[in-house]
Structure 1
């Protein structure tokens, strides 16, 4: 499995774990709590594989963090009825843009 495939797995697992953290209601609900622990374990395992396969840590972490932030925010708005406004959208655009610049810079 390639580094970017492991990175996608790490992102998906982290987003699942983070959303489950909200749904666990302070770890008082068993099923979401299990998803929290399993998701974070899988996310860190997959991220460790990404690094072992040679993707630079700055690039890997930037993509992982930015994608996680953007996807969790999207899930919050679409499924958890959390508010969104222009300032929040602008912030997400800046985060993603920053990651793109890091990726471009690492290729130079």
Structure 2
């Protein structure tokens, strides 16, 4: 059950971080982008609440935070490439692969 909450924490953090893109830029004010600010705030609050539920279900802090951060970084990078057409160099792609490998090694090395 802890890993279900971790998945929800990751999903809400990725949504919040993605919507940060809509809160920035020329001419962006709270008045004309209030919906994006609301999604960012709700997403981050939900993410931390779900992360708390993850920890209270016995998932170790180091593992939960590494998976939450690493998977979030990878997903946001891929979303920014696909949706916002942001460039990813081969070096950055290699970094994404290394992040995935690091998260997998942390998870596989955890005592059960």
Task: Output the TM-score relative to the length of structure 1.
Answer: 0.94
**For residues 33-82 of structure 1, what are the alpha-carbon distances to aligned partners after superposition, in whole Å with 9 as ceiling and x for unaligned?**
00000000000000000000010001101110011000000110000010
Is 1:33 aligned with 2:37?
A: yes
Which structure 1 residue ranges, 4+ long, deviate > 2 Å from structure 2?
none
Which one of 57, 80, 90 corresponds to residue 61 of structure 2?
57
Counterpart position of 2:83: 79
Counterpart position of 2:14: 15
Distance (whole Å) between structure 1 residues aligned to residue 72 and residue 108 of structure 2: 20
Distance (whole Å) between structure 1 residues aligned to residue 4 and residue 107 of structure 2: 16
Task: Output the TM-score relative to the length of structure 2.
Answer: 0.91
1:86 deviates by 0.7
Computing the radius of gyration from Cα coordinates, the structure with the larger value is: 2
**For residues 18-44 of structure 1, what are the alpha-carbon distances to aligned partners after superposition, in whole Å with 9 as ceiling and x for unaligned?**
011111127721111000000000000
Q: How many residues align?
A: 107
SS at match of 2:98: helix
Structure 1: give runs of 5+ residues left out of the alignment: none
Structure 2: give runs of 5+ residues left out of the alignment: none
